[in-house]
């Protein structure tokens, strides 16, 4: 589920909940496994650790502890929420007690998410992080020239490529369709058939889509919730995603849905070429 804006929203929510110099005082986990096995000795490594800060890279959430970094990936349906008292709900898998006061609980019905623990000085070389492309809102590394150089010889459909985390991170199925709509490019257009002018527009569209969604607190299609339980409201701004058969906001043509890489891909046949 969560793409970059949703993970960023959760990160900001957790930051607000965790006072400076907080300490992990207890750890609980369910019997069921997440996508990958939990790291060895996780519980004892976490207890008594200080939470120094939180950050996000791509769709990963990092808990920077005094010696290690706890990595959390939310898969399709992962969420974090706060509970004042220990209260286990269906599909809760992992929770952290802070300062003996409250719990931060990871819930994930489909269990495509996972956690890992790495020494902080090895974080950037870890297998999760090392291959990742630039952040879409980092103007230093994610430039129009970068996008053009990386993609101009590829024959794959553009939508597949902008969802490739090695090219640019954080763009998932919703924001890929939305960014391509803003750029006027069909999702199945071959990368090497796209003009430089369109690439510059696409670069701008990816950045503006992601930034607008962060400002809106993410997109709540079904189960996404902010840490405090609130919904994101970017879904009100979706131009094409989930709108097959409905009129295009620009030209009233019917929005179409095609399948690419087994994912629904929405576009306006008139506005996108």
Partner DNA sequence: ACTGGATCCTGATCGC
Partner DNA sequence: TGCGATCAGGATCCAG
* Catalytic residue list: 2-3, 59, 263
User: Phi/psi zone of residue 48: left (φ > 0), alpha (ψ -120 to 50 degrees), beta?
Assistant: left
Q: Distance between CA 44 and CA 15 in Å, rounded?
A: 23
Sort 53 into a burial class: Cβ within 10 Å, 0-12 / 13-18 / 19+: exposed
- Which residue in the set 75, 133, 134, 187 belongs to the binding site for DNA (CB under 7 A)? 75
21 binds DNA (CB under 7 A): no
110 binds DNA (CB under 7 A): yes
Backbone angles phi, psi at 213, to 5 degrees: -70, -35
Q: Which two tokens stand for residue 142?
A: 């994610």
Percent composition of the chain: helix, strand, coil (DSSP 3-state, to 5): 30, 25, 50
Site pattern 168..197 for DNA (x: CB under 7 A):
----xxx---------------x-------
Strand partners, 247: 254
31 versus 40: smaller Cβ distance to DNA:
31
For the chain, the distance separating the N- and C-terminal CA atoms, rounded to the nearest angstrom, is 28
- Which residue in the set 111, 150, 204, 237 belongs to the binding site for DNA (CB under 7 A)? 111
Would you state the torsion angle of the CA atoms of residues 221, 224, 229, 232, taken in this order, to the nearest 10 degrees? Answer: -50
150 binds DNA (CB under 7 A): no
Backbone angles phi, psi at 235, to 5 degrees: -55, -25
Question: Which residues have a Cβ under 8 Å from the Cβ of 131 and sit 6 or more positions away?
Answer: 165, 166
- Shortest distance (Å) from residue 21 CB to DNA: 31
46 versus 92: smaller Cβ distance to DNA:
92
102 versus 112: smaller Cβ distance to DNA:
112
Closest CA to 210 of 243, 239, 172: 172
Q: Which stretch binds DNA (CB under 7 A): 1-9, 19-27, 140-148, 245-253?
A: 1-9
153 binds DNA (CB under 7 A): yes
156 binds DNA (CB under 7 A): yes
51 versus 216: smaller Cβ distance to DNA:
216
- Which residue in the set 12, 29, 35, 150 belongs to the binding site for DNA (CB under 7 A)? 35
Q: Which of residues 199-218 bind DNA (CB under 7 A)?
A: 218
59 binds DNA (CB under 7 A): yes
Question: What residue ranges bind DNA (CB under 7 A)?
Answer: 1-3, 6, 35, 58-59, 73, 75-76, 90-91, 109-112, 153-157, 160, 163, 165, 172-174, 190, 218-224, 232, 257, 259-264
């Amino acid at each position: 589920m969560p793409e970059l804006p949703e993970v960023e929203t959760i990160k900001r929510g957790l930051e607000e909940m965790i006072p400076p110099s907080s300490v992990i005082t207890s750890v609980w986990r369910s019997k069921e496994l997440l996508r990958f096995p939990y790291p060895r000795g996780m519980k004892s490594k976490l207890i008594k650790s200080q939470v120094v800060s939180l950050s996000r890279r791509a769709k990963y959430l990092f808990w920077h502890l005094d010696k290690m970094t706890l990595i959390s990936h939310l898969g399709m349906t992962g969420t974090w929420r706060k509970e004042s008292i220990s209260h286990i709900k269906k599909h809760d898998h992992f929770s952290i007690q802070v300062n003996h006061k409250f719990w931060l609980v990871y819930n994930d019905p489909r269990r495509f998410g996972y956690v890992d623990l790495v020494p902080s000085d090895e974080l950037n070389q870890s297998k999760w992080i090392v291959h990742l492309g630039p952040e879409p809102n980092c103007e230093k590394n994610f430039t129009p020239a970068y996008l053009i150089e990386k993609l101009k010889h590829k024959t794959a459909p553009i939508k597949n490529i902008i969802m490739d985390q090695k090219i640019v991170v954080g763009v998932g199925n919703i924001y890929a369709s939305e960014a391509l709509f803003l750029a006027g490019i069909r999702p199945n257009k071959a990368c090497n058939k796209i003009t430089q002018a369109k690439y510059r527009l696409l670069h701008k569209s990816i950045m503006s889509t992601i930034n607008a969604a962060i400002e809106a607190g993410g997109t709540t299609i079904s189960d996404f919730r902010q840490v405090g339980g609130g919904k994101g409201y970017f879904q009100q701004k979706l131009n094409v995603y989930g709108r097959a058969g409905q009129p295009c906001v620009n030209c009233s043509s019917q929005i179409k849905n095609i399948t690419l890489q087994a994912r629904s891909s929405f576009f306006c046949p008139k506005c996108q070429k």
